[in-house]
Structure 1
Amino acid sequence: MKLSVELQNQINQLNQLRKQALKQEQEEQKLFEKNKINDLADFGKQLNAQRKLLGIELITLEMQTGVSSSTLKRLFKDPSQVKFQTVYVVAETLGFNLCAINTHKSEES
């Protein structure tokens, strides 16, 4: 009888852990969807908004990144008009952590 109670407790704990893991996975998925870049122009606006929020002037960002003010303006308007390396450097400087997630399953997975 004692073993049965212990097993039931372990099963309950595992079920609790499973629920917690599922909840965390759902929260991470929501966060991923919320922060996913769907439109490059919107991403440029996000970068510029972050710059302003941090109180960083264009000239200061230019000195920090080595990217000219004119290029920064183009980046904030339409990131597709500048090199990816430039977008990456500016985004990192402003506190964005860019990552790529392969959402297509390969045959080996």
Structure 2
Amino acid sequence: MNPKVLQLRDQVNSLESHMHSVLEELLHNIEDSVDRPISTYPIYDKNSLVADMQRRKKAISLEELELQTDISSSTIKRMLKDPSKTSLDNFLTIANELGMKIWIEK
């Protein structure tokens, strides 16, 4: 057989193996997410939302959050105490940076 054909066959086998491992990881992540449903908050349950944001904030320093969002650390602190006293844009930016997917329905 032609050496180029053998080389291509090896590349195909390698890609196939890589695709298989990526799909297995994706399936594993989907199975894990079933055990961790998306948090939902009733519109008037501000305390649960704030508690979840503060819990997630522990994984990142205030300075890193400030650098990543261009929102001052004092504004972030104030928002984490009471999100109703900040702009919606700032709230959504911080929530997104903390890995929270939030949408607003009318």
Distance 1:75 1:41, change over 3 A: farther
TM-score, scaled to structure 1:
0.56
Q: Which of structure 1's runs of 4+ aligned residues deviate more than 6 A?
A: none
Output one character per residue of 1:6-52: Cα deviation in whole Å (capped at 9) or x when no partner.
xxxxxxxxxxxxxxxxxxxxxxxxx67x6224322432221121111
Q: Partner of 2:84 in structure 1? A: 80
Residue ranges of structure 2 left out of the alignment (5+ in a row) = 1-36
Match of 1:95 among 64, 78, 99: 99
Q: Partner of 1:35 in structure 2? A: 40
Q: Give the whole-Å Cα distance in 2 for the aligned partners of 1:59 and 1:76.
A: 14
Deviates more, 1:79-88 or 1:93-102: 93-102
TM-score, scaled to structure 2:
0.57
RMSD: 2.2
The reply to whether residue 46 of structure 1 matches residue 17 of structure 2 is: no
Residue ranges of structure 1 left out of the alignment (5+ in a row) = 1-30, 103-109
Higher relative contact order (CA 8 A, sep 6+): 1
